[in-house]
Amino acid sequence: MMKKKIHRAVPFIATRNHHLLEVAEDYVEIVQDLITAKGEARVCDIAEYLGVSHVTVIRAVERLKKKGYLTSQQHQPVTLTAEGEKLAAFCKKRHKFLLVYLMALGVPEDIAAIDVEGMEHHISQVTMEAFQKHLEFLQK
pLDDT at 139: 87
Alpha-carbon torsion (6, 97, 102, 106), positive or negative: negative
Residue 95 lies in a domain: yes
**CATH code: domain of residue 112:** 1.10.10.10
- 54/21 Cα distance (integer angstroms): 20
- 107/103 Cα distance (integer angstroms): 5
Q: Which segments in the chain show pLDDT lower than 70?
A: 1-6, 10-20
Residue 3 lies in a domain: no
Distance between start and end Cα atoms, the chain: 34
Phi-psi region of 106 (alpha: psi -120 to 50; beta: other; left: phi over 0): left
Residue 127 lies in a domain: yes
Residue 84 lies in a domain: yes
Residue 2 lies in a domain: no
Which pLDDT tens digit goes with each residue over 88-129?
999 999 999 999 999 999 999 999 999 998 899 888 899 999
pLDDT at 11: 66
Residue 1 lies in a domain: no
Range of the domain at 91: 9-138
Q: What is the pTM of this model?
A: 0.79
